[in-house]
Amino acid sequence: MVNDLLGARATVLVTLDPECPFCQMYLPLLDSLVALPAYGAVRIVAVFASPYIPRDSAAKFMRASPAAFDGIMDPEFVLCKALGARVTPEVFVLDAEGELVYQGAIDDRALRAGKKRIQATRHYLSDALDAVLRGDRPAEREVAAVGCILEYDP
């Protein structure tokens, strides 16, 4: 399943839920990453992980994204379980061979439920992508993501 999603140089799988305030906050940032020429070889795929997210709700959420990156439904948490996803949003950066090289937070704006910074001081996702595109491994392999909890049995 994951191999079908791979981009040319890197792939970002991001767990999203249209009702999650943190997902709503990060959608413009994900759009801006897709639009950057430096990330032209990067594919971003939204993973809507819950049996309670209606397909039309996910589609409407994706239409709010000018970059129109790809989205898939994961109502039985198959992909989320394979990745070890815990919250929305949480990103998983895969290199061209499909190896997981970074997992976790997009940046450090989300502090805890209901609390966020106005501006990020650390940019984990873009740092990880920059490293992969240089042919390196990210300096940080995992940073705990803060968001809405994915409710499934591991």
- Residue pair 37/52 in contact (Cβ under 8 Å)? The answer is no
- The pLDDT, as a whole number, for residue 67 is 64
Q: Read off the pLDDT of residues 42-97 as tens digits, 9 standing for 90 and up.
A: 889 999 999 999 999 998 888 877 666 788 999 999 999 999 999 999 999 999 99
If phi over 0 gives left and psi between -120 and 50 gives alpha, with beta otherwise, what is residue 107?
beta
Side-chain half-sphere exposure of 7, counting CA atoms within 13 A: 22
Q: Read off the pLDDT of residues 94-150 as tens digits, 9 standing for 90 and up.
A: 999 999 999 999 999 988 877 888 899 999 999 999 999 999 999 999 999 999 999
Best CA proximity match to 34, nearest among 18, 48, 45: 45
Tokens for 43?
């594919």
What average pLDDT score do residues 28-47 get?
Answer: 87
Top pLDDT among 125 and 9 is at 125
- Asked whether the predicted pLDDT for residue 41 surpasses 80, the reply is yes
- The pLDDT, as a whole number, for residue 85 is 96
Confidence class for position 3, pLDDT limits 50, 70, 90: low
